[in-house]
């Protein structure tokens, strides 16, 4: 199941974008999302992308800056792995 990202552009225009990765990465991402986390892809003025894993209040936990090209997929994998490593017991489960 693809990973949902909140995609935002300069000027705060936003939408949900799904990114398909390997099954293992998607399962790992879903564990983070189930705890109330969010993934955000913010296009910045210079054309690069800030990938962020945030808590339920959209406070960044992990931030990775990458070019807006094919390297973004490896950055998504790294973001998911790092966000999963940052899951804390304090993160509330969304559906409990």
Tokens (6 digits) for 15: 């939408």
Q: Each residue of 35-74: pLDDT tens digit? A: 889 999 998 888 899 999 998 888 899 999 999 999 999 9
Q: Which residues share a beta bridge with 3?
A: 19
Q: Is the pLDDT of residue 5 over 90?
A: yes
Report d(CA 55, CA 88) in Å as an integer. 10
Q: Say what the pTM is.
A: 0.86
Question: What pLDDT does residue 70 have?
Answer: 92
Q: Which is nearest to 30 in space by CA: 11, 4, 51?
A: 4
Q: Which residue has the tokens 């094919």?
A: 70
* Domain residue spans of the chain: 3-85
- Computed over every residue of the chain, the mean pLDDT equals 88
Is residue 89 predicted with pLDDT exceeding 50? yes
């Amino acid at each position: 199941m693809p990973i949902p990202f909140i995609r935002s552009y300069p000027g705060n225009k936003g939408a949900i974008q799904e990114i398909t990765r390997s099954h293992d990465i998607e399962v790992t991402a879903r564990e983070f999302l189930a705890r109330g986390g969010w993934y955000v892809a913010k296009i910045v003025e210079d054309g690069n992308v800030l990938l962020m894993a945030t808590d339920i209040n959209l406070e960044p936990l992990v931030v990775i800056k990458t070019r807006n090209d094919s390297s973004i997929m490896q950055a998504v994998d790294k973001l998911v792995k790092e966000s999963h490593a940052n899951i804390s017991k304090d993160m509330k489960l969304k559906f409990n």
